[in-house]
Structure 1
């Protein structure tokens, strides 16, 4: 056993001296997590467009725009044509067409209709209309309160509007909180909680496949044959390389977990379940690396073909997009890869609040993949070293 640890240490030091390997181990995963997490994160509201020409120099219009800012980011548009174009391109979720002369109409006590253009899916249109309507309703409260006070005091709406605004600000409102208690989500949370676990699955597997080049190079240099001239058993050499790849996979996993938690605020779910899942996936990556070293004939093949295989498996397994959005046949095909089972387990942990019992089926399948790959790799390596 001591010999296996010595072999593992020597192989790991050789791998970590490779600057290219360090780039793929440390820098690239962090960059990809940041980029994908930023792209798929929930913006926290709807993107609202308001025509710029209808907002300048108008007190009530300005206050209406301020209310719309509570719905989401507000973008002023040059004209209606630009606004409709942005809406059609998906750059905006809605466009509020504030009518000209809004101030005078409201101050005269007349009814005003505010058209809202919405795009996207029907559910999005309904949600954005409700959000905009709520913002307009809050604005209308002040005007209606000012109009009521003006009728009773014999003054104008404009005179009572500041008082109505002040009263609205200090009047307690009924707060409505929403809690999603659904436990059947088939999607990872948006943002970095999506990119961090999927990139952990992706990079541990890819780097293990590419790292098989180290075993191929060691075999080509005759290091294994010279080691066998000493009183070192073949099993110790294979076990040493296995421990090396397991350590490598665990180091990258811990790095991604730490970066996700500390830099991007990712919650990894139930700690014991997450730890077991990470350890099991590290074993899957170890098996992939050992197979790569066993079957590729040259280091260049392992470095070039290995990542391609890893990316293809990741695409099929749901690391690039949710499997729920692909046809059923593709979903079934994806579950022929270990990636799909790992992503399913992360969905259970992060989206459904699951524990180790809830992901037991996925862990069992992943353990099966790991045992099969490690067993096959051990047999091939034993034959190569004793040939």
Structure 2
């Protein structure tokens, strides 16, 4: 009987047509937007090379970029612009016929360089400029040798021998920025997926409290209690229903981001444990709102407001690694921060169960306290209604 009550609550929530967009479409769209605009990755810099193909200049640029560890894709100028617009390339280099001819003649060569809109494109642009500078220096050296009377093949051979004989200086950069090291290794969508996962689990749960209010107002719960069902079973069924709503939202985002965006969630069993604990907190909070308020519109408004504020404090809008004091300390009062840190440890550092156990314990404690309060408020409202 408990699971029957819970199943009814989940079905009522999913049958609300407004939830089709906000529960299933909007979260993935937001993750896609955040990933393409602000996501960063430690993968190879992606360069789209277009324009005149098969020229000496195109070959030189392609070989130099690949030698410098960049991923190069060739196509037409239109393809280059489309790749940049869709976020599939960081930098685009377009070679005009005039540029190819100027390079062959040893003259100044002008290239059209375009960058994508994501923040990481500026760093990629500097890499591409460094590679192009290396080509320019090598080409100038060869032209100078040829102008001095050395044949083209001999000039190329001399430059190759000089490159082998001279050892290039080695520069080791030590990154002491702990924040940069924390995010190193994340995929484009990994960070945004974690943040939006927690945000929408809590939002969906709090706004889903409206179904509990409707059940009280329209007599659904009193009719349920008219059956051979105890008040305790009814309250537990409502709590399980709220938990089901949160779990459905979390499982959908988890699977959707893994399949569509290739998000690496780390150990799925540990990730599932964190999601279950966080869903329990969200469900208990929804129980409180659904028991204290008598108007579903007010519950939706309060749920959205409270959900956004807690998400912001907990690091679901701006990563908590960027927080200063006292906001850093204040964020630990939210369940979002504990869940965020546990998921980050699993995703970035291959954390074990013992590593995330403190976070799970805090989430379980929050869920127990909120569930006790929600059950007490719901029991009181049911007695008042009866």
Q: State if a TM-score over 0.5 links the two structures.
A: yes
Number of aligned residues: 333
Contact 2:65 2:72 in 1 (8 A): yes
C-alpha separation between the residues in 2 aligned to 1:202 and 1:14?
22
Q: Is residue 364 of structure 2 the alignment partner of residue 364 of structure 1? A: no
SS in 2 for 1:283: helix
Q: Which segments of 5 or more consecutive residues in structure 2 lack a partner in the other structure?
A: 74-89, 92-98, 109-120, 164-172
Corresponding residue number in structure 1 for 2:350: 353
Mapped partners of 2:72, 2:346: distance in 1? 32
Across the aligned residues of Structure 1 and Structure 2, the Cα RMSD in angstroms comes to: 4.5
The 5-angstrom pairing of residues 82-97 of structure 1 reads: none
How do 1:148-297 and structure 2 match up within 5 A? 155-157=150-152, 185-187=181-183, 189-297=186-294
> 2:168: which partner in 1?
none
Alignment-derived partner of residue 96 in structure 2: none
The answer for the alignment partner of 1:307 in structure 2 is 304
Conserved? CA contact 1:146–1:161, under 8 Å: no
Contact kept? 1:67, 1:139, Cα under 8 Å: no
Determine the structure 2 residue equivalent to 1:12.
10
Q: Which residue of 2 aligns with 1:35?
A: 33
Q: Is the 8 A contact 1:318 1:339 kept in 2?
A: yes
Q: Is the 8 A contact 1:272 1:356 kept in 2?
A: no
Q: TM-score, normalised by structure 2?
A: 0.71
Q: In the TM superposition, what whole-angstrom CA distance separates every residue of 1:49-70 from its partner, at most 9, and x where no partner exists?
A: xxxxxx99xx776666546755
Superposed displacement of residue 223, structure 1: 2.5
In the TM superposition, what whole-angstrom CA distance separates every residue of 1:257-316 from its partner, at most 9, and x where no partner exists? Answer: 111111111111122211211111111221122122112220001122211110111111
Q: Deviations for 1:188-219, whole angstroms, at most 9, x for unmatched residues? A: 82521112121110101000000000001111
Unaligned runs of 5+ in 1: 49-54, 75-90, 93-97, 108-123, 169-177
3-state SS in 2 of match to 1:42: coil
Note the C-alpha offset of 1:228.
2.7
Matches within 5 A, 1:110-121: none
Matches of 2:105 and 2:221 in 1, distance apart? 89
Change (3 A) 1:126 1:299: closer
Deviation at 1:368, TM superposition (A): 1.4
**Structure 1 126/278 Cα, relative in aligned 2: closer, same or farther at 3 Å?**
closer
Q: For the structure 1 residues 67 and 341, does the alpha-carbon distance in structure 2 shift closer, same or farther, using more than 3 Å as the test?
A: same
Give the conservation status (yes or no) of the 8 Å contact 1:210–1:292. no
> Could you tell me how far 1:38 is from its partner in structure 2?
1.6
The answer (yes or no) to whether the contact 1:143–1:157 under 8 Å persists in 2 is no
Which residue matches 1:26? Answer: 24
Which SS does the other structure have where 1:231 is aligned? coil
Distance 1:192 1:16, change over 3 A: same
The 2-side partners of 1:247 and 1:41 are apart by 31
